[in-house]
Amino acid sequence: MNRIDARFGQLRKAGRAAFIPFFTAGDPGLGASLRLLKEAERAGADLVELGFPYSDPVADGPTIQDSYHRVLEKGLRIGQVFDMVREARETCSLPVVAMISYSLVYRMGMAAFMDRCVEAGIDGATVPDLPVEEASSFFTMANERDFRLVCFVTPATKAERRAMAIKHAAGFIYYISVRGITGERSALPPDLVENIAELKDLTDVPVAVGFGISEPAQARAVAQAADGVIVGSAIVKRMSQAASDGRDPVGAALEFIKLIAGATRDLP
């Protein structure tokens, strides 16, 4: 069974939501990413979303854009990311989901990309700039490889398009909580819980929520309504700050992961 499906199945039996931290592959170095993959589970992560740096990200705000820029300036190659994940798999059992631009997938070829993911130990992918209407061949190839192509739904998604995403959804549905790009926000939308409930009424596929979640109280509120909580910019920002201050960026990330993971488990 795909590790994503297995983990969500375990969590449903336990009656709790998944905590899914995001970090950028290669920021501030591949050694840091390797350590994060090896130690994130012990800190409280249930899955990991791993960002593949790209020069023109579609949905990412300044914090993650800056992390991509830092990595690309160092000359990171995609093959190095696959090698890093493969090495991490010696001890890491966490499901890993690649967040990657379709431009990178297209350049490699869909089949080649998924084959390299599976060989390295990556279990699925989120591809923000691949419209679900144009992804039929990707879904077919993914199913043949027990690989999960995660679909997006947003507050602005029309009913017809949402139904198409639900039809193809595998692993989990990524519900984007806000209209806009990634980044920390002081408050989540007032209709978020209602929107999650409406989506969950339409599918048995787990629903994980991302964009804007940056503090324990927000993570706790989302965990009460959704099947998963995704936190990215807040982690990347803390790693960058720690590196600038001469502190251990991985240690800063793990400390924050523990804080957020605790909030997602501390439910009434």
Which amino acids are annotated catalytic?
49, 60
Q: Give strand pairing partners of 20.
A: 230
Assigned token pair, 149:
């192509």
Strand (E) or helix (H) holding 230: strand 228-231
Question: How many Å apart are CA 174 and CA 126, to the nearest integer?
Answer: 8
Question: How many Å apart are CA 54 and CA 101, to the nearest integer?
Answer: 7
In sequence order, what are the residues at sequence separation of 6 or more whose Cβ sits closer than 8 angstroms to the Cβ of residue 120?
Answer: 82, 83, 85, 86, 89
Report helix, strand or coil for 50: strand
